[in-house]
Amino acid sequence: MTKKTAHSLRLRRVAIDTYKENVAYLHRDCHIYRSEGFQALTKVEITFGQQRPLLATLNVVDDESITAPGQLGLCLEAFQRLGLPEGTEASVAHAKPPASLHAVHRKIAGERLDFADYEAITRDIVEHRYAKIELAAFLVACGETGLERDEVLSLTRAMADSGEKLDWQEPLVADKHCIGGIPGNRTSMLVVPIVAAHGMFIPKTSSRAITSPAGTADTMEVLAQVELPLDNLHQIVRKHRGCLAWGGTALLAPVDDILISVERPLSVDSPGQLVASILAKKLAAGATHLLVDIPMGPTAKVRNQAEALRLRKLFEFVGDRVGLQIEVMVTDGHQPIGRGIGPVLEARDVLQVLENHPDQPRDLREKALQLAGRILEFDPDVRGGQGYSLARDILESGRAMEKMHAIRKAQGRTETTPPLGRLCQQIKADRDGHVIAIDNLQMARIARLAGAPMDKGAGVDLHIKTGEHAAAGEALYSIYAEFDADFAFACEAAAQNTGFTLSD
Amino acid sequence: MTKKTAHSLRLRRVAIDTYKENVAYLHRDCHIYRSEGFQALTKVEITFGQQRPLLATLNVVDDESITAPGQLGLCLEAFQRLGLPEGTEASVAHAKPPASLHAVHRKIAGERLDFADYEAITRDIVEHRYAKIELAAFLVACGETGLERDEVLSLTRAMADSGEKLDWQEPLVADKHCIGGIPGNRTSMLVVPIVAAHGMFIPKTSSRAITSPAGTADTMEVLAQVELPLDNLHQIVRKHRGCLAWGGTALLAPVDDILISVERPLSVDSPGQLVASILAKKLAAGATHLLVDIPMGPTAKVRNQAEALRLRKLFEFVGDRVGLQIEVMVTDGHQPIGRGIGPVLEARDVLQVLENHPDQPRDLREKALQLAGRILEFDPDVRGGQGYSLARDILESGRAMEKMHAIRKAQGRTETTPPLGRLCQQIKADRDGHVIAIDNLQMARIARLAGAPMDKGAGVDLHIKTGEHAAAGEALYSIYAEFDADFAFACEAAAQNTGFTLSD
């Protein structure tokens, strides 16, 4: 067998931001480009001495000021992650297609994959061997009814094994997670302070929003740093019994974050991927006890009791087999929770509840207390049925607020919270009536168009909720945005469909 | 409703080749980048005066020598297609996600789409509104059992409508197509000269290889130009009654070529997409009569009689409804056809058959005569059952060879045919035995690794076929490659699995 050829080039930083996709640049006249018969979009394997090889997609350059013959250009993120100086000697060769793509093709053809397949797939993804179109193919192939429950279990294990794993050396490590789909549903930021104030250990790692206008990490970022080094995170949790940090930087189940970079622009989020993604992160984060919140309603992710039951069973099936004690609560998801939708507005709601403010959104407070109560009952010393009143005492006494202050300070409190978007428009009722429905999907869509979660101050502020009366001309909600184009899109969407249904 | 904002920038050519994906570059300090809140990988809509807007994926640049603040950089292919000079005033805004993506999500969720959905999807794809990951999602969602036959019909119609349509003003326009999967199967290059020599009208537009080591277009390109302007193509066919050109440049069903740019790196090719892709091209090319070749064998695309029957019915169902008279032949696909695999080697086989050369590959000749015979019987004046002997007469008399010469000359005969790859290795039998099987997939894989179809002279030349005897140490086949890395990969693959099974 002939040896793989490799040729020497000099590394060069190319100041182009290609967002999570490794892109390498070679000049069209470079002897290596010509002799190896590369094509634009070829996948190449780049080697720097003894380091692990780097996989990248090739772009071909005709301009020496970007990358000259004899140089190997590398896009910003890949260059920074690599951490080698310009001029470092590099060799480049055709990359073999990742072996695990065969398994993806079997999945597309409707076959059942086993643990070894999922392990190989996640390993190749973490090593950046998959192009974006290959990630998209994998996600869609797993979509909807595509995964059997044994496969979800295999995928969960493989994802949990794909990165670091935390071991807290604690007998009970509590966590909570909502499957999402309900705008404004920021209960974690209340549950964590309440539970930690009781002394229970709850190191909450959160994701950023995938398809929603704000995730817990996006909202917490309004109040404190959420991207923390692992060492730092450990110290904070040991001291305060809780934290509200983003799992992404903590290297937990890193394959999840790569999948999300494609899930997000594609807006795909299937049940099997959902369960695997949630449980893998929790396992890697060292959780032993987990409360899962499944909101149900006509415009929620889960529309009826049968679906909710199926999802609950899937969580329980996988949870039992990976050693996580899981409680599932099916909650009211027929409208947004709280008033604000978007990071700054949701952070305001959370603070009002913690402050026991007279204007606090009652539904957010009530839901947070119910969830916190169920988690407190994981504690063997808490009597069954007593969790709710214990949680209420902690909140009303101000101990939850104190705990939140301590966590913010420990994670790095933001100097100034970002302002609301400078552009604002009220959307008004066109006639008298009671609000009989608010469409979660439409409200989320308007808030996203307005710029949330990327623009912290963008979003929607609800003034009237289901069951309340609206007079003709009264404001149903306000749209906030930072940028003109976003503002125009959001207002246009609201003009076409307010998301509110009024009674006759 | 507020008006969409747009800002003025100066167009700049960025000499980077990003292969069929429009990429726009903005400097991170550009006022428009900042004020519009763009992100890397955002999709943007670029407007130049009264021209149709252009959709592109945004890359963010930190180097003024690539794109300075106030400039809008555009990658090579998009810049060339646009055809405007540098400095042209451009405005840029957030692109709305293509409306038809909702339909793709419904397809992922297992729903049935209608004609209006497929029409909207193909229109958005042709207008470059889909990112590559969105194309991948659509293809995988349609994959395998994903399309009902009414959907295949809708997709066929929508794809055929997506570009130009030829009207030959002829009562009978014949065509043939093989579903692929059999290396070396270059019957079209024999069938077209035979049928055209008879005087029947057969303007054959061919595709390039998707997942195989050579398509008819790739192989014909060894002998003549295949990328012809539409006017030119018309003249040639009117005069010679036949041609062998690539449909891609002819603007026929252009959506197919965009889908292929993702199908190819992904290696996805599902039955529904297959039928729609073939029939849409044929419809747009103005065919009235079509012979479809379905090779069947243990390593062919179609493995058994039941699958072949299902596919035949699907072709017939769609064909009947779009007004194409379709004949389907299920042929022997248990090993490669002919000896050569790869453009140059396959062109050699074709010429040998046309020349009635004593060493010609008999199986290729026999199959071409059977297919040509069935097509000749589309002629009302040819008696049923007489097509085969008529085809044989045309071939043996040298009239087919004359016709091929005329077509090559008309399309633009290549000055010199490309040489075989400079690197060669023989793969030998490790013991005595009869060849009882040759794996189509493995032979195709080895030829592709060797560089086919991009490198015309790369591929595999079979010296022994099924049923023949091989002595220990006798060469089973030779591998040809142009580039070292390709050669190493191909030889390594052959060392692991020769693709040949010998009897004991």
pLDDT tens per residue, range B187-228:
999 999 999 999 999 988 777 776 788 989 999 999 999 988
Banded pLDDT at B423 (limits 50, 70, 90): very high
Q: What's the CA gap between B109 and B137, in Å, rounded?
A: 12
Task: Answer yes or no: is pLDDT of B387 > 90.
Answer: yes
Read off the pLDDT of each residue in B364-369 and give the average, rounded to a whole number.
98
Q: Contact A491/B2, CB-based, under 8 Å?
A: yes
Helix (H) or strand (E) holding B437: strand B433-438
Considering only residues A394 and B108, tell me which one the structure prediction assigns the higher pLDDT.
Answer: A394
pLDDT at residue B39, rounded to an integer: 65
Scanning every residue of chain A, which has its alpha carbon at the shortest distance from the alpha carbon of B489?
Answer: A4
Banded pLDDT at B37 (limits 50, 70, 90): low
pLDDT tens per residue, range A479-504:
999 988 889 989 999 999 999 999 98
B472 contacts B401 by C-beta, under 8 angstroms: no
pLDDT at residue A250, rounded to an integer: 56
pLDDT tens per residue, range A317-334:
999 999 999 999 999 999
pLDDT tens per residue, range A421-430:
999 999 999 9
Banded pLDDT at A208 (limits 50, 70, 90): confident
Q: What is the ipTM of this complex?
A: 0.73
Task: Answer yes or no: is pLDDT of B393 > 50.
Answer: yes
Widest pairwise Cα distance in chain A: 82
- In what order do the strands lie in the sheet containing B475-481? B340-341, B459-462, B475-481, B423-428
CA distance B88 to chain A (A): 21
Instruction: Kindly list the residues from chain B whose CB atom is less than 8 angstroms away from the CB atom of residue A59.
Output: 16-18
Closest CA to B191 of B178, B179, B181: B178
Residue in A265, A268, A485 closest to B94 by CB: A485
Average pLDDT, chain A: 90
**Which of B16, B423, B442 is the mutation pick for testing A, counting most A CBs within 10 A?**
B16
Read off the pLDDT of each residue in B461-470 and give the average, rounded to a whole number.
96
Is B269 one of the catalytic residues? yes
B491 contacts B479 by C-beta, under 8 angstroms: yes
Considering only residues A287 and B35, tell me which one the structure prediction assigns the higher pLDDT.
Answer: A287
Q: What's the CA gap between A56 and B57, in Å, rounded?
A: 18
Q: What's the CA gap between B286 and B163, in Å, rounded?
A: 13
Give me the residue label for tokens 């039928």. Answer: B275
pLDDT at residue B34, rounded to an integer: 64
Q: Contact A96/B265, CB-based, under 8 Å?
A: no
Q: Which range, A266-275, A295-304, B92-101, B394-403, is most confident? A: B394-403
pLDDT at residue B195, rounded to an integer: 98
Banded pLDDT at A4 (limits 50, 70, 90): very low
Q: Which range, A82-91, A267-276, A278-287, A468-477, is most confident? A: A468-477
Q: What is the dihedral of CA A55, A60, A65, A66, to 10 degrees?
A: -40
B254 contacts B160 by C-beta, under 8 angstroms: no
CB contacts < 8 A, A to B, total 188
The pair phi, psi for residue B38, each rounded to 5°, is -65, 160
3-state DSSP assignment of residue B43: strand
Read off the pLDDT of each residue in A255-269 and give the average, rounded to a whole number.
81
Pair of tokens at residue B334: 């248990």
Closest CA to A18 of B487, B59, B210: B59
Read off the pLDDT of each residue in B312-337 and give the average, rounded to a whole number.
96
Residue in A101, A134, A451 closest to B37 by CB: A451
Q: Contact B60/A35, CB-based, under 8 Å?
A: no
Q: Which positions ≥6 away from A157 have C-beta within 8 Å?
A: A115, A118, A119, A280, A322
Scanning every residue of chain A, which has its alpha carbon at the shortest distance from the alpha carbon of B109?
Answer: A144
**Side-chain half-sphere CA neighbours of A344 within 13 A:** 24
Q: Contact A36/B132, CB-based, under 8 Å?
A: no
Q: What's the CA gap between A319 and A276, in Å, rounded?
A: 10
Give me the residue label for tokens 């000896």. Answer: B339
Task: Answer yes or no: is pLDDT of B366 > 60.
Answer: yes
| Strand pairing class (B340-341; B433-438) | unpaired
Among A149-163, A290-304, B237-251, the least confident range: B237-251
Banded pLDDT at B3 (limits 50, 70, 90): very low
Task: Answer yes or no: is pLDDT of B364 > 60.
Answer: yes
pLDDT at residue A268, rounded to an integer: 78
Banded pLDDT at B305 (limits 50, 70, 90): very high
Q: What's the CA gap between B219 and B221, in Å, rounded?
A: 5
pLDDT at residue A39, rounded to an integer: 65
Q: Say which DSSP state B87 is in.
A: T
> Within B323-411, where are the H helices?
343-354, 362-376, 387-396, 399-411
pLDDT at residue B266, rounded to an integer: 82
Banded pLDDT at A390 (limits 50, 70, 90): very high
Task: Answer yes or no: is pLDDT of A207 > 80.
Answer: no
Read off the pLDDT of each residue in B128-147 and give the average, rounded to a whole number.
84
3-state DSSP assignment of residue A10: strand
**Which of B59, B91, B101, B424 is the mutation pick for testing A, counting most A CBs within 10 A?**
B59
Instruction: Kindly list the residues from chain A whose CB atom is less than 8 angstroms away from the CB atom of residue B62.
Output: 15-17, 76
Q: What's the CA gap between B319 and B317, in Å, rounded?
A: 6
Q: What's the CA gap between A198 and A302, in Å, rounded?
A: 32
Q: Contact B488/A1, CB-based, under 8 Å?
A: yes
Helix axes A216-223, A188-198, angle to 10 degrees: 70
Q: Contact B489/A454, CB-based, under 8 Å?
A: no
Residue in A94, A110, A488 closest to B489 by CB: A94
pLDDT tens per residue, range B79-129:
988 889 999 999 888 787 788 999 999 988 888 999 999 999 999 998 888
Banded pLDDT at B288 (limits 50, 70, 90): very high
pLDDT at residue B129, rounded to an integer: 85
In whole angstroms, how far apart are CA B215 and each of A227, B186, B229, B300, B479? 51, 8, 20, 16, 19
Q: Contact B143/A94, CB-based, under 8 Å?
A: no
End-to-end CA distance of chain B: 80
CA distance A102 to chain B (A): 10
Residue in B17, B131, B483 closest to A40 by CB: B17
Q: Say which DSSP state B195 is in.
A: H
pLDDT tens per residue, range B426-440:
999 999 999 999 999
Read off the pLDDT of each residue in B19-38 and give the average, rounded to a whole number.
78
Q: Contact B109/A144, CB-based, under 8 Å?
A: yes
Q: What's the CA gap between A193 and A186, in Å, rounded?
A: 13
User: What domains can be seen in chain B, in order of their start residue?
Assistant: 7-94 (2.40.40.20), 101-160 (1.20.970.10), 174-247+285-411 (3.40.1030.10), 423-502 (3.90.1170.30)
| Strand pairing class (B289-296; B325-332) | parallel
Q: Contact A17/B62, CB-based, under 8 Å?
A: yes
Please return the burial class of A203, using the count of CB atoms within 10 Å of its CB with bins 0-12, 13-18 and 19+: buried
Q: Contact B482/A3, CB-based, under 8 Å?
A: no
Widest pairwise Cα distance in chain B: 81
Banded pLDDT at B41 (limits 50, 70, 90): low
Please return the burial class of A479, using the count of CB atoms within 10 Å of its CB with bins 0-12, 13-18 and 19+: buried
Instruction: Kindly list the residues from chain A whose CB atom is less than 8 angstroms away from the CB atom of residue B137.
Output: 136-137, 139-140, 266, 268
Catalytic residue among B117, B124, B257, B269: B269
CA distance A136 to chain B (A): 6
pLDDT at residue A40, rounded to an integer: 62
Q: Contact B14/A485, CB-based, under 8 Å?
A: no
Read off the pLDDT of each residue in B291-314 and give the average, rounded to a whole number.
94
Scanning every residue of chain B, which has its alpha carbon at the shortest distance from the alpha carbon of A427?
Answer: B1
pLDDT tens per residue, range B437-456:
999 999 999 998 898 988 99
Closest CA to B372 of B353, B392, B350, B357: B392
Scanning every residue of chain B, which has its alpha carbon at the shortest distance from the alpha carbon of A144?
Answer: B109
The pair phi, psi for residue A200, each rounded to 5°, is -75, 145
Q: What angle do CA B349, B351, B352 make, to 5 degrees?
A: 65
B369 contacts B388 by C-beta, under 8 angstroms: yes
pLDDT at residue B4, rounded to an integer: 38
Residue in B5, B41, B66 closest to A19 by CB: B41
